[in-house]
Each structure stands twice: as C-alpha cells, then as structure tokens.
Amino acid sequence: QVQLVESGGGLVQAGGSLRLSCAASGVTFSLYTTGWFRQAPLKEREFVAGISWSDSRTHYADSVKGRFTISRDNAKNTVYLQMNSLKPEDMAVYYCAARRDYSGSYVYTGIIDYDYWGQGTQVTVSS
C-alpha cells in the first residue's frame, strides 16, 4: 500500500518561496508517476505539476509555469515542489498524488488518473 506524506507548507509573504516534499513508503516509488495538486477554499482541486518516473519528464499548469519546479529523488522516495514568486492566488492545500505507470515517461494531469493521495499541506501566502 502506497502512503504519501506531504510537508513543507506554511505561511509566506507574496514573492517568497517554499519547498514542498512528498515522502512515499510502501512501494518502489521509482515506478510511480507523481503529481502535485492544490485546492483553494470553495474551488475544485486542480493540477499543478507532474513528473514521470523514468525520464523525469515534467508538465505544469499554465498558472505556475516559470515559478514552480517539480523534481524527484527516487533513492529517497521523495518528490519535491519548489515554489518561487508565490502569489496570494497560490494559497491552497497542496496534495501529492501517485500512480503506477508502466510507460515511465507519461505525465498524468487528471485527478482520476491518480490512485494514491497524501493528506495535504497548507500553503498560505500573505499579500
């Protein structure tokens, strides 16, 4: 059973940075495509960034391109989301998600594409 635990959220001023981590256990994480999603109050959960497991191919939502960077360390079973130039509209609960992927080079962007989810970590951006 895959377990995902996010950390690194917190309060930051607009323009600041945070790095989120997602630690996986229970599986060979290197065979799982992973993604970050976020959900703001009264809004639907949305895709933020994803990374494949074989060639570390990445994909980003337009709203975060150039500001956020997703990366992974398979040896540590951990995926990261570096968030720079944070804006008040980035404020949300951020969730890590994973799914087993046999191709190794595809990045999924849909909520229904992922089988495992973490509990989320709150990111608050003050203006």
Per-residue pLDDT reduced to its tens digit, 56-65: 899 999 999 9
What average pLDDT does range 26-50 have in this prediction? 93
Q: For residue 33, what are the β-bridge partners?
A: 99
* pLDDT the model gives residue 118: 97
Helix and strand totals (H; E) in the chain: 0, 11
Q: Are 57 and 107 in contact (CB under 8 A)?
A: yes
Range with the lowest mean pLDDT among 32-41, 66-75, 96-105, 117-126? Answer: 96-105
Distance from chain centroid for Cα 74: 15
Q: What proportion of the chain, given as a percentage, has pLDDT over 70?
A: 100
Q: Are 107 and 76 in contact (CB under 8 A)?
A: no
* pLDDT the model gives residue 90: 98
